[in-house]
Amino acid sequence: MDLLDLVSQATGTAPKQVKNVISLLFDNGATIPFVSRYRKEATGGLDEVAIGKIKEEYERLTELEKRKTTVLTTIEEQGKLTPELKGKIESCYNSAVLEDIYLPYKPKRRTRASIAKERGLEPLAAMLIKQNHPNIEQAAYRFINDAVPSAEEALAGALDITAEWISENEKARSAVRRIFAREAQITSKVIKGKEEEGIKYADYYAFSEPLKRSPSHRILAMIRGEREGVLKLSAAPDDSPALEALEQIFLKASPSDNLSSHYIRQSIADSYKRLIKPSMETEFLAAAKERADTEAIRVFSENLRQLLLSPPLGQHSILAIDPGFRTGCKVVCLDKQGNLLHNETIFPHPPQNETGTAIKKIVSLTDMYKIEAIAIGDGTASRETESFIKRIRFNRELRIFMVSEDGASVYSASPAAREEFPSYDVTVRGAVSIGRRLMDPLAELVKIEPKAIGVGQYQHDVEQSRLKKSLDAVVESCVNMVGVNLNTASKHLLTYVSGIGASLAANIVAYRRDNGAFRSREELKKVPRLGDKAFEQCAGFLRISGGTNPLDNSAVHPESYPIVQRMADDNGVTIAELLDNKELQARIDITRYADDKTGIPTLTDIMQELKKPGRDPRNGIKVFEFNPDIRSIDDLKEGMVLPGIVTNITNFGAFVDIGIKQDGLVHISQLADRYVANPADIVKLHQQVEVRVLEIDKTRNRIQLSMKNMPGK
């Protein structure tokens, strides 16, 4: 069976679809967003998730093939590669089983068994393992030498060898592995003397549950506790079933007084306790960690997707405030393109209390720069600043928004921020980021390392390269789903467009700076080093408003422009007139335009895009207000119903900001009046919700909330 068939089986996808996806991604260098959007005929309409799974499985199997080559080479160099062994390795597609096969041949450090072999005890071990010698203790005397002074030591050395043989036996390891998979318990205990220091891990001081049922957040919490020196972890079943399974494999049918069998029973116990069990524990904890990583990354990725696709306010003049007490509130004014027009600091709060001066300044700035909305960062002094702003009587109606500051400090100190604002300090850069997030969250958040945005759990505990790869894929997917204005996009935003990357993004910005705004997608081909392949990949995701071709402001790919032109010509109108005429669009029979290259899926997409060219797929933003009487945990009472905003979603529930600097948890059991399997089915990031206060734990600063039996639900 070849790799493509294996990928097909693993992903439940037709072999032809797999073949085409692999060819597009690996042979033609296409990106997942491009393949899912513009090559539906080749993929059979697979979405990004399905294509991503094919890519991931193909890469996994490719890496396994490389490992098999290494294993075969190593064994062959030892002169031990038989045709049977070679066939066994070549037909293996399970990495754990492959390592079991390789284990007896794997170069290893000096062991008790290798020392015993050096002392000439391997023949005695062979007699032992066969269990057919009439008097094995008598036979041991024949192996006494300078390094082995007694028969007892000869037997001990031989048992070390048999213990290693047992631990390297593929059948034995498979049997124990099945028992671990079925019965292993993950157990966590507090290390003596760490009780007070590790109080946040108190739930795991004496904890045990089936490993196969332990959810990702508990696995990661326990592993973090062990890494911090608070907890001691183990992951194993009861010893009895494993020992029984090993005895069934290695004990021969022999009289009960057979000494060899007696010694092998000892060797089995030693092999399991000293070699097999620790190895399996390591393997199963690593596998549990990998599964937990996968789930944590999935949740983080979904949260990031929701955050990046948060509703934008759009192009409006913004006054943004990064609140503070002692150091004041940093105020910036931005034009409709997000350019910085003005910045200064006001001090409306203690200890300065320059409220009157601050009010006059804010009113003056809103008039001078024709401000349309105010963005307030949700960090320190945010509620006080919101209250201060709402007391001001403006000369026009202004909408006021609380904006998440997560990651703003990371951005403000980053090379990207220094490049953008070399003459301003971090406080100005942070305030600008807050204002721009209100205008377009996606365009601003792409400048921040995804894991610093703050919508995940245990992001520092999972495998970092996997996390980065997954989050980068989410950013790329979101950017290409929304589309990018070619004439206003920053270098950082352009970097995530299909087929572009950092170097071409810089070249596009430089070309735009030197030559003015792009008038057409075709002009992209004039950008240095942007060749036909990059153009094919990126063009459909870039938008040009008011350009020479109205289709340049749509998701219709340039390769399909001739089809749209034919549709317009057949109906005696221009492309612009076709875009404006919904009745005419409805009368078009797309089957007339299908051919070997362009099928019904692509034609359907084209018609959908003609109905809404350039429309932002994200929803509009809504103003939100916290309960003005709730400022701290001391203001809370059980039973209160409060407005809140979902700030994070995990497998065990959702965290909700109710305006007191400490998010409350709506446990999964409290999300709805019915069973909930996945919190993401009930709530979305930044969703405005009503919650009831269930429990207040001031000692641990924890708040339990509920969304069950809420009014209007």
* H-only helix segments in 582-642: 582-587, 600-611
Q: Is 410 helix (H, G, I), strand (E, B) or coil?
A: helix
31 φ, ψ (degrees, to nearest 5): -95, 160
Where is 693: in which H helix or E strand? strand 688-697
Helix and strand totals (H; E) in the chain: 30, 15
To the question of pTM greater than 0.95 for the whole model, the response is no
User: Whole-angstrom Cα distance, residue 275 to residue 104?
Assistant: 13
H or E, element range at 657: strand 653-657
Residue 168 φ/ψ, nearest 5 degrees: -100, 0
Residues 362, 389: contact at Cβ < 8 Å? yes
The percent of residues above 70 in pLDDT, for the chain, comes to 98
Query: Rounded to the nearest 10 degrees, how much is the dihedral formed by the CA atoms of 578, 582, 583, 589?
Result: 70
Question: In this model, does residue 281 exceed pLDDT 60?
Answer: yes
Which amino acid would we find at residue 65? E
- β-strands 653-657, 664-667: how paired? antiparallel
Q: What pLDDT is attached to residue 254?
A: 56
pLDDT digits (tens, 9 = 90+) for 352-402: 999 999 999 999 999 999 999 999 999 899 999 999 999 999 988 999 999
Rg, Å, the chain Cα set: 33
Residue 329 φ then ψ, to 5°: -105, 120
pLDDT of 348 reads: 97
What pLDDT score does 450 carry? 84
Q: How far apart are the first and last CA of the chain?
A: 54
Q: Is the pLDDT of residue 700 over 90?
A: no
C-alpha span between 607 and 612 (Å, rounded):
9
Tokens of 206: 């004496």
Q: What is the pLDDT of residues 504-540, one digit of tens each?
A: 999 999 999 999 999 999 999 999 999 999 999 999 9
Which neighbouring-strand residues pair with 550? none
- 577-623, pLDDT tens digit by residue? 999 999 999 999 999 999 988 999 999 999 999 988 877 888 878 88
Residues 621, 655: Cα–Cα separation, whole Å? 20
What value does the mean pLDDT of the chain take? Answer: 93
- Residue 433 CB burial class (10 angstroms; 0-12, 13-18, ≥19): buried
3-state SS of 186-254 is EEEEECCCCCCCCHHHHHHCEEEEEHHHCCHHHHHHHHHHHHCCCEEEEEECCHHHHHHHHHHHHCCCC
Cβ proximity of 238 and 183 under 8 Å: yes
- Report whether 119 contacts 155 (CB < 8 A): no
Q: Which is nearest to 426 in space by CA: 491, 341, 332?
A: 332
Structure tokens at 76: 């062959």
Half-sphere exposure for 335 (CA within 13 Å, toward CB): 4
Rounded mean pLDDT of 453-480? Answer: 86
DSSP codes joined into one string, 556-594? --GGGHHHHHHHHHHTT--HHHHHH-HHHHHH--GGGG-
Beta pairing class for 373-377 and 318-322: parallel
157: DSSP letter? H
Residue that has been written with the tokens 């008790």 in this structure: 112
45-95 residue pLDDT tens: 999 999 999 999 999 999 999 999 999 999 999 999 999 999 999 999 999
What residue has token string 């001391």?
Answer: 634
3-state secondary structure of 553: helix
Distance CA 635, CA 656 (A): 16
| Residue 4 confidence (pLDDT) | 92
